[in-house]
Amino acid sequence: MALTPTTNRQTWSTGCLGPSGTWEFSLPVVAGDACELSLRAADGGTANVDRVLEVVGVASNDDCGRASRLDFTSAATATRTLRVRGCSVNAQGSFTLACRRMLSDPIFRNGSD
């Protein structure tokens, strides 16, 4: 599934993860883009069991228990792979992923106002 990060938060409810299951998303980013990826309710996401968020080869996060969140800034223009997986074989259940592109300069929209 392809994600297209915009400055408006988007959510994807993809169903369930089974034992040792993984969902993968393609995430196109531009050098300097900052993205927020979250399973936290406060950000529009959900997770009923402990999940790990990972941008393959870039960053991962599992320090929020069920409500993992990952903010990262892309060093290059590329299509990254985002993984959502359970933290163990017993971590079966559903999730909703929230994603948005964060502007580093919201007043001038990074120089293109």
Q: What is the pLDDT of residues 88-111, one digit of tens each?
A: 777 778 888 899 988 765 555 555
pLDDT at 40: 87
Burial bucket for residue 10 (CB in 10 Å: 0-12, 13-18, 19+)? middle
pTM for the whole thing?
A: 0.79
- In single-letter form, the type of residue at position 54 comes to E
pLDDT at 81: 92
| 62 neighbors 50 (Cβ within 8 angstroms) | yes
What's the pLDDT tens digit per position in 28-44? 888 888 899 988 888 88
